[in-house]
Amino acid sequence: MLINIESLLLLCAGFFVIAVLYSAVGMGGGSSYLALLTLFVASFFAIRSIALVCNLIVVSGSTILYFKHGHARLKDFVPFIITSIPMAFLGASFRLKEEVFFIVLGASLIISSLFLVWQTSGAKWSEPTKEYPRYLSYVIGASIGFLSGLVGIGGGIFLAPILNHINWDKSVKIAALASFFILVNSISGIGGLLYSDTFELPWMETLILGVTVLVGGQLGIRLSLKKLSAKSIKRITAVLVFVVGVRVLLVNGLGLI
């Protein structure tokens, strides 16, 4: 096994909690999986691969649920998806040096945490939705898709705060788009890793973690966080992701500590 049993149990506990919390707000938890994996797994190829697979497992259930209840319409999502898929593939196919990867990952985690804080403090849910030029959807999809593939996340943690801030649509529809966006980008990212021969998956650990996030994700979807608001979850997550992002940047990336 790639990691010892004690570390694997700690990862399972962390992944389970992350899957429950993120799935309830339409996300997969990729950024937090990455954050935890950097504490226990040395190979950055394995880190990206495991995070993408677990991401894919969680958002598959969320996406099905959103479409089933009529919150998602494919034609509204196409402008974002059509550019994000190839760019996520391109980003994932880059063979980054290990220190460069950790610098990009650390910076991305820090930015992710700031986006989460921004979403909970600056969003004005009562404002009406606004119309925007279609090209903006292509630009947003391509930009976030590339970054997602590069570091091994689905991108919903970047997409949702931006769309909420500009009042693109109702929050439930944005959550549905974020879930679907994560799904297709995770698939595309895995394809990019396979293409560049950097898809490194320790099967035993991935199987155990995959089952863990599957159970956690389904539980989170069904609970819908009746006892803890989505805003509280995002703020707690923001603190965790920020702290680990700083650690990854300073220790793994820059080697300053």
Question: Each residue of 74-120: pLDDT tens digit?
Answer: 888 899 999 999 999 999 998 888 888 889 888 988 888 887 787 77
190 closest CA partner among 50, 63, 29: 50
Q: With 50 as the cut, is the pLDDT of residue 227 above it? A: yes
| CA-CA-CA-CA torsion sign (65, 202, 237, 107) | negative
pLDDT for 126:
52
Q: With 80 as the cut, is the pLDDT of residue 216 above it? A: yes
Question: Each residue of 31-42: pLDDT tens digit?
Answer: 889 889 988 988
Question: Each residue of 157-212: pLDDT tens digit?
Answer: 888 888 877 888 887 788 889 889 999 999 999 999 999 999 999 999 999 999 99
Question: Each residue of 121-168: pLDDT tens digit?
Answer: 754 545 566 778 889 999 999 999 999 999 888 888 888 888 877 888
How far is C-alpha 69 from the chain's CA centre?
Answer: 23
Average pLDDT over residues 222-246: 71
pLDDT for 210:
96
Mean pLDDT score of the chain: 86
How far is residue 113's CA from residue 148's CA, in Å, rounded to a whole number? 15
How far is residue 112's CA from residue 73's CA, in Å, rounded to a whole number? 26
Distances in whole angstroms, Cα of residue 74 to Cα of each of 60, 140, 154, 228, 255: 15, 17, 18, 30, 44
pLDDT for 127:
59
Read out DSSP for 61-103?
HHHHHHHHTT---HHHHHHHHHHHHHHHHHHHH----HHHHHH
CA angle 225, 126, 157 (to 5 degrees): 50
pLDDT for 89:
95
**Which comes out higher in pLDDT, residue 85 or 27?**
85
145 closest CA partner among 159, 160, 134, 133: 159
pLDDT for 86:
96
How far is residue 249's CA from residue 254's CA, in Å, rounded to a whole number? 6
